[in-house]
């Protein structure tokens, strides 16, 4: 098992390649949760995520003979860029196997760090298997994204930085996918302060650590279903399972809709853009039952494409009640649209979109369905709008995020 000085040495090893991401105090999340909340922005690392820490630490510790052989990894995201940059810094050949569907922007970003990129297979597992074949054939050293002690050691340097800035932190919230990040943070933090609580945060649709704990051993989920693709791991690492079992105090799960809301708050209030997996630890703040605690949320990464950002903001506005979408059945006669517009104007709701459909409501022949999208000030404003429609004899149906494309 690692000792505290192992993490201190790793931190020294990483000192020339990582950005020291300072804690950001969040008055917004502190007020919302009744705790003293800080954000650790690992999305500001050069590769856009914490992965450079573990990758560099692992590669830097290889023997000279291993370095001459070069390294290989399989990844569709952040690990690829971490390994590529680490290898470039150390002057070592790197081969990254990525699934064929990997967005071109990620492929190019990895190539820009000097790695040879091979596209193979439809899914991550196919890419992983091909990378292992190449490792056997060419003699490369395989760099696992999480199931590796040297990788865990590198990720644990985050805890040293957190506790240097905030020695009396009570809780650290950590996104949990394969388990490498939380393994390192949990052990390093407990070595510094055995009383600190480490809480993992998994997406509801990929809760592989909770499944392993319930089973008493690592188990593979039949599928994953989450927008937090960076943590969409069907099976956590066996090594990581031991760390989680021994050093992690609790695991919280988060829905995609909770992620959307937290993503919006981060963008709007902190001007921080994080990837969906990175937002998990912020979304979990509301599920902490304790009050008055010093809590650090680890923002693990920020590699997200512009189209996804747009979609997340729109859906986050809806979840937050800042965009209100509803449908109302109207008699098919003149003047009804004007009446609806008048109510919304009186309630100071800014109309974004109206969709008038004569053919949608087939079960009521003389009615038409009107779908309305308005900008509001939040739930209280929405309640006032709904009450006013009700007073005027209209029945409106709120459309939730699941009904919005």
Task: Tell me the pLDDT tens digit for each residue of 101-132.
Answer: 887 878 888 999 999 999 998 878 788 899 99
Name the 3-class secondary structure at 2.
coil
Residue with tokens 């650790």: 40
Annotated domain spans of the chain = 4-50+149-316, 71-139, 321-398
**Between 339 and 208, residue with greater pLDDT:** 208
Q: Domain 4-50+149-316 carries which CATH code?
A: 3.40.50.1100
Q: Check residue 402 and give its pLDDT.
A: 47
Work out the average pLDDT over 44-73. 96
Q: What is the pLDDT of residues 291-316, one digit of tens each?
A: 999 999 999 998 887 778 878 877 77
Is the predicted pLDDT of residue 364 greater than 70, yes or no? no
* Residues found in the chain: 405
Question: What mean pLDDT comes out for the span 252-266?
Answer: 91
Tell me the mean pLDDT in the region 77-82.
92
pTM exceeds 0.85, yes or no = no
| pLDDT value at residue 393 | 85
Q: What's the mean pLDDT in 67-91?
A: 94
Domain 321-398, CATH = 3.30.70.260
Statement: residue 56 has pLDDT above 90: yes
Please give the positions annotated as active site: 51, 300
Quickly list DSSP for 182-244: HHHHHHHHHHH-TT-EEEEEEEGGG-HHHHHHHHTS----S----S-GGG--SS--HHHHHHH
The correct answer on CATH 3.90.660.10 for the domain covering 71-139 is no
């Amino acid at each position: 098992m690692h000792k505290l000085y192992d993490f201190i040495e790793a931190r020294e090893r990483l000192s020339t390649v990582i950005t020291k991401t300072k804690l950001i105090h969040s008055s917004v999340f502190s007020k919302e949760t009744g705790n003293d909340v800080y954000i650790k922005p690992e999305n500001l690392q050069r590769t856009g995520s914490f992965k450079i820490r573990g990758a560099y630490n692992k590669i830097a510790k290889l023997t000279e003979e291993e370095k001459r052989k070069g390294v290989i990894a399989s990844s569709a995201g952040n690990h690829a860029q971490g390994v590529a940059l680490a290898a470039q810094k150390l002057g070592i050949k790197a081969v990254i196997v990525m699934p064929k569907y990997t967005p071109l922007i990620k492929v190019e970003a990895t190539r820009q760090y000097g790695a040879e990129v091979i596209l193979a297979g439809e899914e991550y597992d196919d890419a992983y298997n091909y990378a292992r074949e190449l490792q056997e054939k060419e003699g490369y050293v395989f760099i696992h994204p999480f199931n590796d002690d040297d990788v865990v050691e590198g990720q644990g340097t985050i805890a040293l930085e957190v506790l240097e800035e905030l020695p009396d932190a009570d809780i650290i919230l950590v996104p949990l996918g394969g388990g490498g990040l939380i393994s390192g943070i949990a052990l390093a933090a407990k070595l510094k302060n055995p009383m600190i609580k480490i809480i993992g945060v998994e997406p509801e649709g990929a809760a592989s650590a909770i499944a392993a704990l319930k089973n008493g051993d690592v188990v593979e989920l039949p599928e994953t279903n989450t927008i937090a693709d960076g943590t969409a791991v069907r099976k956590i690492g066996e090594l990581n399972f031991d760390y989680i079992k021994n050093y992690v105090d609790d695991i919280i799960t988060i829905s995609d809709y909770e992620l959307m809301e937290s993503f919006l708050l981060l963008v709007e209030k902190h001007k921080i853009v994080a990837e969906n997996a990175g937002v998990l630890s912020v979304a979990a703040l509301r599920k902490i039952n304790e009050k008055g605690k010093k809590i650090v949320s680890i923002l693990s990464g920020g590699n997200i494409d512009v189209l996804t950002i747009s979609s997340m903001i729109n859906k986050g506005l809806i979840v937050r009640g800042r965009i209100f979408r509803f449908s109302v059945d109207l008699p098919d006669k003149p003047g009804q649209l004007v009446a609806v517009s008048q109510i919304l104007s009186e309630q100071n709701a800014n109309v974004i979109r109206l969709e008038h459909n004569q053919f949608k409501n087939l079960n009521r022949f003389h009615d038409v369905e009107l779908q309305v999208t308005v900008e509001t000030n939040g739930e209280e404003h929405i309640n006032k709008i709904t009450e006013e429609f009700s007073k005027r004899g209209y029945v409106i149906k709120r459309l939730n995020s699941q009904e919005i494309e």
